[in-house]
Structure 1
Amino acid sequence: MEIVKPERLHIDDSVAIVSPSWGGPSVFPHIYELGIGLLQRWGLQVVEYPTARMAAAELAAKPQLRAADINRAFADPSIKAIIAAIGGDDSHRILPYLDAGIIAANPKILMGYSDTSTLHTFCQRLGLVTLHGPSVMAGFAQMAAMPDYAAHVKEMLFRPVAHYRYQPYAAYSDGYPDWRQEAKAGQVNEPRAHEGWRLLQGEGVVEGRLFGGCLDVFEGLQTSAFWPQDDFWNDRLLFLETSEEAPGPELVAEMLRGWGRQGIWQRIAGLMVGRAARYDDAAKLALDRVLVDVIGGEFGRRDMPIMSSMDVGHTDPQFVLPLGVRARLDCAAKSLELTESWLA
């Protein structure tokens, strides 16, 4: 499959904001507006599409409207990027209404995570590079409290390079203060020291094209016509992360077995797992054991590198990971590097 990269952003470019999942901006507009404000301070022209602030109940009832916004944003040549307002739990309902022809013909930056994993998968099957990263309300709205995070995201959007090496953040935050408390808007929960990535098994260096997203969301996608076919997984460097619902290690084990029954563990080059949100230390260790026991033991891939506790997913700060570009995972150095530019 030919890989198509979108163009990088420039000052004064127009960025579309859509709500492909939950109508969070209508419930917590003060959080949403903080995220919009940061994009504007970066010199971007924010274009709010009709679904962006639509009432949550109306949005939930009309997946066609959500899909129509995405189709229009891709079709509009003045729009250079599309950013999800926030995640949710039912973006799979919009997939039948997306126009694959329009989207494939108009590559541009698509950014979001969590439930936006469905849109990333849709675009990956078309060969488009998209960016797994923060949403307006969960990420951009809190970046004033995390300047290093803001610098990384801005660099990934505006300044692509031929090679990029990720470094673990020194600290991370798990969740936000109650968004109903407007006085705490834009804050994050108390930061915790990050002990670094953990190599659970494997050795050497592996390479592949990046793909991944939210494990919980993928569960609902696997039985649909929008799930990638077998050859899609060949030599992928896969990353997975669990949602803020914090599925327990036992449930994650069952999810991993479902991937194994599809033969995916036999096809990919390596696996990276994000820090699990709302897990205590004991649960994190139990999750590590599950990964090794299921993938290495039950499915016989003890040779495959598995790195856990990586800076991706439902804790902050998280990396922007470009899906579809080539990357290298070094077990000895515990490093992840992009080996090509991710934007044109």
Structure 2
Amino acid sequence: MSAVLTPTEAPATVPAGRFGGLLRAEAHRFRARRFVQVLLGLAVLAWIAVTALGLVNYREATPERLAAAQEQLQESVEQSSIGREQCLTDPNLPTDVPADQLCGPVMTAEDMELSWFLDPAPYSLSGEGMTGAVSVAAAAAVLAFLIGATFVGAEWSSRSMVALLFWETRRPRVMGAKIAVVAVATLLVGVAAQLAWLATAGIWQAVAGDGVPVPDGFWPDMLATQARGALLTLLAGLLGFGLTNLVRNTGAALGVGFVYFAVVEGAISGFRPTWQPWLLTTNAAGLVMPDGLELTIYTDEFDTQGNTKVIEYLVTNLQGGIVMAVVTAVVVGAGVVLFSRRDAH
């Protein structure tokens, strides 16, 4: 007579192994993803091209070039003074209007910058370094969004996600490992992008710089901006991952992102301008920019004099970080919950 196992005696599911092994497997899958390799390769080529282009467009401010620029500046001041004197002595000049309003104020050398007369201009680390860090953060965020989206989207399209569940049946562990890998990878992308920008800015300053020392407090502000840029890259990567995990298709996720950024935000800015402080692009910029993002919002309301009411709003670094983190957490969390409950097919 054969024994029959009751439901309570059925063997339990054997765990696939420690979480560290799952992490290593997901990291290997991430590194092996061909499209991720292509994206990173293109990013490296873009960095090389931008660095080379800067070396072509910038030129060192040599003493000879500075002297020639100073002569042009002085000549411009003299020509301005001559033109103003001719305007003031014009017999047809109206007498009921102030002369400065018609002929302009007195122009001095202090009103002009020497760099205006340097063509090509030298690179200025103190003047352009921070702007470059913000721009690199935006480009790295787009790259991270694509990386996060294609990583999980490829698994849904190839159905390898279903096969993975035969090895590890605990879905929250599977998704947790994938999220951890994407978070670490995109954070590294953000850090690498900012280090690449420091290298580029250093090369430009050494080869074609203006020779002006950076002001006090420049480097702490620069490093803080770059750190926030790396954080934005991390959040963008997780957002791309979470959105694609929701719709289970990379193309659909990119389409949703395009519609939101190109259509929805434009419509909101036009029809609901007071909502601008809560848009994703607004808060992303507010997170990275050194002093936050200042908004000038023209409302549909009018004051007692019939003028349009204008609202000045500052999107601080803290607000930008909180809004981006909350939106990312909601999208990723919703994807994890649905992944745990619905069929994987």
Which TM bucket (shorter chain)?
Answer: under 0.3
TM-score using structure 2 length = 0.25
Structure having the higher helix fraction is 2
| More strand per residue | 1
**TM-score normalized by structure 1?**
0.25
Structure with bigger gyration radius: 2
